[in-house]
């Protein structure tokens, strides 16, 4: 009799491959189940594969391990469905908590807003997006303080914070997310190299900002920024409503 192969993919954000291995190392000793950890575009996938005589038997092998991984890694898991993307999970989270959102972008130039707006039904939660590429636009549109830009620069935690607050105020949204960074290939310095990005998330007037350092060309830096922004947005909403 031919064996049946069954796969299950668990998608995670905000946790490294090394951290995942440390958390589930004992589960990976299962002789009946192959567990593969795959880093993928600033995200990580855990792929469970079982071979058995029937599909039901393969599912029975996968089920308890999958359940234990969910228990251990909890909020890092954004989906276990093949076709559910990170942006879909974020929009679902906004809908579940009845939250509206706005975006404020510099180096990503609308790429983040476009990713969110790709999700069907997003009009129920998405209010407005701002592309503030220049310092003048940041001041005029989002109310970023001139003194903040002069003292800390456009690429700074302080500017990201004021951009997020300004977007939430201007759009009258419950949640906002801001992005400011150096995508390259030019513009970097020793103090602020290419790939340096600050992402700010405002949830009900509470702002959290994180610093990221990405590698690769301009397109890669912008793409990693969008993924990390969606991941941080998800994390902040979950923490606020936990």
Judge if the upstream peptide bond of residue 231 is cis by omega within 30 degrees of 0: no
Tell whether the model's pLDDT for residue 242 goes beyond 90: no
pLDDT of the residue at 126: 98
The Cα–Cα gap between 10 and 190 comes to: 39
pTM of the model: 0.94
**Would you place residue 1 in the very low, low, confident or very high pLDDT band (cuts 50, 70, 90)?**
low
Residue 180 tokens read as 């400011």
Residue 189 tokens read as 């310095």
Is the CB of residue 168 less than 8 Å from the CB of residue 102? yes
pLDDT of the residue at 40: 85
| Three-point CA angle 181, 187, 193, nearest 5° | 65
Please state the rounded mean pLDDT for residues 192-204: 98
Tens digits of residue pLDDT in 174-193? 999 999 999 999 999 999 99
Containing H/E element for 66?
Answer: helix 55-73
pLDDT of the residue at 41: 83
Tell whether the model's pLDDT for residue 4 goes beyond 70: yes
Is the CB of residue 96 less than 8 Å from the CB of residue 24? no
**Sequence-ordered list of residues with C-beta below 8 angstroms from that of 219, at least 6 positions apart, any chain:** none
Is the CB of residue 78 less than 8 Å from the CB of residue 13? yes
Tens digits of residue pLDDT in 110-164? 999 999 999 999 999 999 999 999 999 999 999 999 999 999 999 999 999 999 9
Q: Which of 24, 49, 22, 25 is nearest to 35 (CA)?
A: 49
pLDDT of the residue at 234: 97
**Would you place residue 229 in the very low, low, confident or very high pLDDT band (cuts 50, 70, 90)?**
very high
* % of the chain residues with pLDDT over 70: 100
Tens digits of residue pLDDT in 12-65? 999 999 999 999 999 999 999 999 999 988 899 999 999 999 999 999 999 999
Q: Phi and psi dihedrals of 224, rounded to 5?
A: -65, -35
pLDDT of the residue at 25: 96
Is the CB of residue 76 less than 8 Å from the CB of residue 14? yes
* Mean pLDDT over the full length of the chain: 96
pLDDT of the residue at 165: 98
Is the CB of residue 236 less than 8 Å from the CB of residue 90? no
pLDDT of the residue at 95: 97
Length of the chain counted residue by residue: 242
Tens digits of residue pLDDT in 213-223? 999 999 999 99
């Amino acid at each position: 009799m031919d064996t049946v192969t069954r796969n299950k993919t668990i998608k995670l954000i905000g946790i490294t491959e090394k951290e995942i291995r440390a958390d589930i190392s004992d589960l990976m000793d299962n002789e009946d189940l192959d567990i593969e950890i795959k880093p993928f575009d600033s995200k990580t996938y855990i792929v469970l594969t079982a071979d058995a005589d029937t599909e039901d038997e393969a599912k029975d092998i996968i089920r308890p391990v999958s359940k234990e991984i969910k228990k251990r890694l909890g909020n890092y898991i954004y989906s276990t469905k093949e076709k559910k993307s990170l942006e879909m999970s974020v929009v679902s989270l906004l809908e579940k908590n009845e939250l509206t959102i706005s975006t404020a972008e510099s180096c990503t130039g609308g790429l983040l807003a476009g990713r969110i707006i790709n999700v069907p039904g997003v009009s129920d939660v998405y209010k407005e997006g701002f592309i503030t590429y220049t310092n003048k636009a940041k001041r005029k549109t989002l109310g970023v303080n001139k003194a903040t830009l002069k003292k800390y620069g456009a690429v700074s935690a302080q500017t990201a914070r004021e951009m997020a607050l300004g977007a939430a105020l201007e759009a009258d949204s419950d949640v906002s997310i801001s992005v400011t960074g150096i995508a390259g290939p030019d513009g970097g310095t020793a103090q602020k190299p290419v790939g340096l990005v600050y992402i700010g998330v405002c949830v009900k007037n509470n702002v959290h900002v994180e610093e990221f350092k990405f590698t690769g060309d301009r397109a890669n830096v912008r793409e990693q920024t969008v993924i990390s922004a969606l991941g941080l947005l998800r994390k902040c909403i979950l923490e606020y409503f936990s």
